[in-house]
Structure 1
Amino acid sequence: MTYCVGLFLQQGLVMLADTRTNAGVDNIATFSKMFTVTEPGERALCLLSSGNLAITQAVWNRLGEGVFLDGQRQTLLSVRSMFQAAQLVGAAIRAIYAADGPSLAAQKVGFTVSMMLGGQIAGGPMRLYLVYAAGNFIEATPDTPFLQIGEAKYGKPMLDRVLTHETGLVDGIKLCLISMDDTLRSNLSVGMPLDLLVYREGTARIGLQRRITENDPYFLSLRDSWSGQLRDIYGALPVPDWLPLDSTE
């Protein structure tokens, strides 16, 4: 399985993905689910993927070779806007479905894929999209400043409680890592290492791209600090005043 999260912040984007693929309890491997397309000063795009590995890799390769959009073969390096980039990802997904969907259905294998696309092309706004298996998509907004794909439920409560569009990039990194750690603790199909990308709005270049391993000192410190402070806060919560006296002991 997978967990990927993207934050759409006033200052920029924070995108994080795990790397575990799982085809059964005895067939676990590591594959990056983060792909980037950059032309410094002109465009910086990041694509996160979830679903059947063969499908997501096929979509990425199709994007590299080019997909017909508005009557022209285009790539993520040639589209003129982030909206067109999202359309192109959707068109690539539909092209793979047209080629492989019937064969997958015959084998009773579902066409499972979803992709998150974030970035900025010079002259246009920074945007963050979630593209579905049908090729349609939604966009993050200041009112809903994060998107998730894969095992989303475990890492969502922290983002719902704390994140706003005005959250800074540094705090956004911390929130993404905590959201991922909550998921790692609750679901064995999501695993290390992690791929982190940070993009600052208006720069048209990737500000940070980092592989976070199980031995990363900052991630270990954040994990221990978060767990310890949660235990402390839980212990300090007031006891319900409607409980019988002996229930509080």
Structure 2
Amino acid sequence: MKPIFERRGLIVSCQALPGEPLYWQGTMARMAQAAQQGGAIGIRANGPDDIRDIKAAVGLPVIGLLKRDIPGSDIYITPELVDVQAIIEAGADVVAMDMTNREDRMERVVPLIRHCHEAGVAVMADISTLEEGLLAESLGADFVSTTMSGYTPYSPQQEGPDLELVRELAKRLTKATLVAEGRIWSPAEAEEALEAGAAYVVVGGAITRPQYITKKYADRIGKWLEQSVTK
């Protein structure tokens, strides 16, 4: 399989979910255009419609996923084969899927990985621990991303990126390409992730979700104002 990305660098996650202000047809394609102008080397996108729009709007590789809630399950990132098929048909260059060790997931992803590879599409494993990353690689994942660290109950619950997980994976992975993703809020943290061994850094909320960016400023200012009143 030929290289997906031309060089190491920043991948921007352009996603908006129902109920969010930017959840509107075409908005994420414009966000992807802005990301490309800013120097992004790739885009991560949710859902066939956004994937198609983004592929038509920019010339960057797209990591596609489909977030879908299934009653009784905690797996929501590309949970089933039908989701994989929809992402591939939309034109994604890479299919991202949950590969956490929950609900027999590691057994269930085997046919999903096979389907992607038979279609000539790469696979990104969204994992939360070192063990999951190594197992995902052994199952054939082309990329291993730290996306799910902090989103499983047994992974570190912290505000910043799980750089320790990036370091450990960098030491142990032999075939899969390492991607750092999750709670990266500053260029300095992105640089630290690269220094820790990641080939690529995915940033979403800090760039493409203005409500989250605003909240960080508002919370910080609110705390300062509270402290200034008590002085």
* Same topology, TM > 0.5: no
Give the strand-richer structure, 1 or 2.
Answer: 1
Q: 1 or 2 for the larger relative contact order (CA 8 Å, sep ≥6)? A: 1
Give the helix-richer structure, 1 or 2.
Answer: 2
